[in-house]
């Protein structure tokens, strides 16, 4: 499996916030086909990008940050060069502190890397499938369905393999071939190494700290205040609601303080490392812990590095970026019904989360408190772009599978599945 689907998260202090908001608003309006573009920058001009967003994280104490989230394909250096060549990128980033501009490429690369924070956990619903293949296979599936609609009476009289042959001939030959190398062996090796690493590193570590950690967990959970009584119905900011449900996909940007102290930071970091390994090596078939609507998701720990502030008073934050299908309500419902334990293990270490038992239980199961807590810490995203806005996770995976099976010899059961998906 080709695995070069990557994440980039840039967090930079803002020095010209009013101008930045104005420019991002103009770009967001330009993404609507009914609006006239007034800004040069357009995310669709950056090749090999799946999703992109710009978010202003306001904080009177820590200072306002611009968060730039990207999901992309290929080598980092190559992609950064494409970003630097995108018209108008200076118009956004020059509103941030110390920005050198793209004219000095080396300084630009250094600035991006200096402000990049790597995700503690990163999930992709279709790893190894670059955007160019998704777009290609979307076209193949459309041609297949168009042909079936036009020749249905003729095709219904034929056996399955003859139907497949005729449909294959009807597809443009340029679209039939995979655009990525087959590296399944690398993926399988990664799974084996992940299990070995877990056995060698994590199990002994857990055995050493288990007694201390469990005792500390009970103490911390006993002292947690938990979330307040939720409002009914769940209160939604008008600015958030106005940005949702415009296409088949939505996005969520969520920022919350991590509870103070070494124990909470150690716990949340460890949980995210485990989830990151699971997401990259085992949750590779279109679901994350049973949640089937997520295209890309990541958790990023933004540390408070202010000098002169005692460690106990530092405000480390957890930022969650998600690109998902359907409504906010259905998405949160999947969280609660299918992955509440994993989500509780992460967010029980953050401020105001519903009261939790033994790290995994209760927490997100307290539906109304969990939903209100999520809304309370959700930010308005100033600009968000999707490379395939009308495709769900299942659409993408179906289209890729249809095209990959097109040249194969399928058995009767596989042929039935293939024809049904058309």
Q: 339-382 pLDDT, tens per residue? A: 888 899 999 999 999 988 887 788 889 999 999 999 999 999 99
CATH number of 5-117: 3.30.70
Q: What is the pLDDT of residues 300-318, one digit of tens each?
A: 999 999 988 888 889 999 9
Closest-CA residue to 80 (of 117, 54, 100, 109): 109
Closest-CA residue to 56 (of 86, 30, 84, 92): 92
| The predicted structure's pLDDT at residue 100 | 97
The Cα 205–Cα 146 span in angstroms is: 57
| The predicted structure's pLDDT at residue 188 | 55
Residues shown for the chain? 422
| The predicted structure's pLDDT at residue 415 | 87
| The predicted structure's pLDDT at residue 178 | 53
| The predicted structure's pLDDT at residue 71 | 97
| The predicted structure's pLDDT at residue 109 | 96
Q: Are 319 and 377 in contact (CB under 8 A)?
A: no
| The predicted structure's pLDDT at residue 2 | 46
Q: Where along the chain do its domains lie?
A: 5-117, 131-179+392-421, 184-386
Q: Say what angle helices 203-223 and 262-281 make with each other, to 10 degrees.
A: 130
Q: Which residues of the chain have pLDDT under 70?
A: 1-4, 33-36, 174-217, 219-223, 225-235
| The predicted structure's pLDDT at residue 284 | 84
pTM: 0.88
Q: Structure tokens of 337?
A: 């019904």
| The predicted structure's pLDDT at residue 202 | 58
Q: Are 298 and 11 in contact (CB under 8 A)?
A: no
| Helix residue spans in 6-150 (DSSP H) | 17-31, 76-85, 89-93, 105-115, 131-150
51's enclosing H/E stretch is strand 49-57
| The predicted structure's pLDDT at residue 221 | 67
Q: Are 239 and 315 in contact (CB under 8 A)?
A: no
């Amino acid at each position: 499996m080709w695995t070069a689907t990557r994440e980039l998260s840039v967090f930079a202090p803002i020095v010209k916030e009013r101008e930045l908001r104005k420019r991002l608003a103009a770009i967001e309006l330009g993404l609507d086909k009914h609006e006239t573009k007034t800004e040069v920058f357009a995310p669709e001009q950056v090749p090999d990008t799946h999703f992109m967003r710009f978010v202003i994280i306001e904080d009177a104490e820590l200072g306002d940050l611009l968060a730039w989230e990207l999901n992309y394909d290929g080598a980092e250096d190559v992609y950064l060069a494409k970003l630097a060549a995108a018209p108008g990128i200076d118009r956004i980033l020059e509103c941030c502190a110390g920005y050198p501009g793209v004219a000095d490429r080396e300084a630009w690369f250094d600035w991006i890397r200096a402000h990049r924070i790597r995700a503690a956990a990163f999930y992709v619903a279709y790893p190894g499938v670059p955007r160019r293949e998704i777009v290609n296979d979307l076209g193949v599936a459309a041609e297949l369905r168009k042909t079936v609609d036009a020749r249905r009476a003729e095709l219904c009289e034929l056996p399955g393999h003859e139907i497949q042959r005729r449909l294959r001939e009807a597809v443009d030959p340029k679209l039939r071939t995979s655009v990525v190398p087959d590296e399944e062996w690398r993926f399988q090796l990664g799974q084996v190494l992940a299990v070995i690493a877990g056995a060698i590193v994590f199990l002994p570590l857990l055995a050493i700290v288990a007694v201390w950690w469990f005792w500390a967990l009970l103490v911390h959970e006993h002292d947690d205040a938990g979330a307040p009584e939720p409002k009914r119905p769940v209160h939604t900011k008008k600015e958030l609601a106005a940005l949702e449900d415009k296409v088949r996909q939505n996005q969520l940007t969520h920022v919350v303080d991590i509870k103070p102290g070494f124990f909470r930071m150690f716990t949340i970091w460890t949980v995210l490392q485990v989830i990151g390994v699971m997401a990259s090596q085992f949750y590779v078939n279109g679901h994350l812990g049973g949640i089937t609507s997520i295209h890309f998701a990541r958790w990023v720990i933004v540390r408070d590095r202010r000098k002169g502030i005692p460690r106990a008073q530092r405000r480390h934050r957890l930022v969650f970026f998600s690109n998902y299908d359907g409504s906010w309500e259905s998405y949160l419902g999947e969280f609660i019904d299918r992955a509440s334990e994993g989500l509780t293990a992460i967010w029980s270490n953050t401020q105001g989360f519903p009261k939790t038992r033994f790290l995994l239980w209760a927490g997100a199961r307290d539906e109304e408190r969990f939903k209100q807590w999520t809304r309370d810490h959700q930010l308005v995203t100033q600009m968000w772009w999707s490379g395939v806005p009308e495709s769900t996770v299942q659409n993408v995976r179906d289209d890729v599978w249809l095209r990959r099976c097109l040249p194969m010899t399928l058995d009767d059961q596989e042929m039935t599945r293939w024809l049904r998906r058309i």
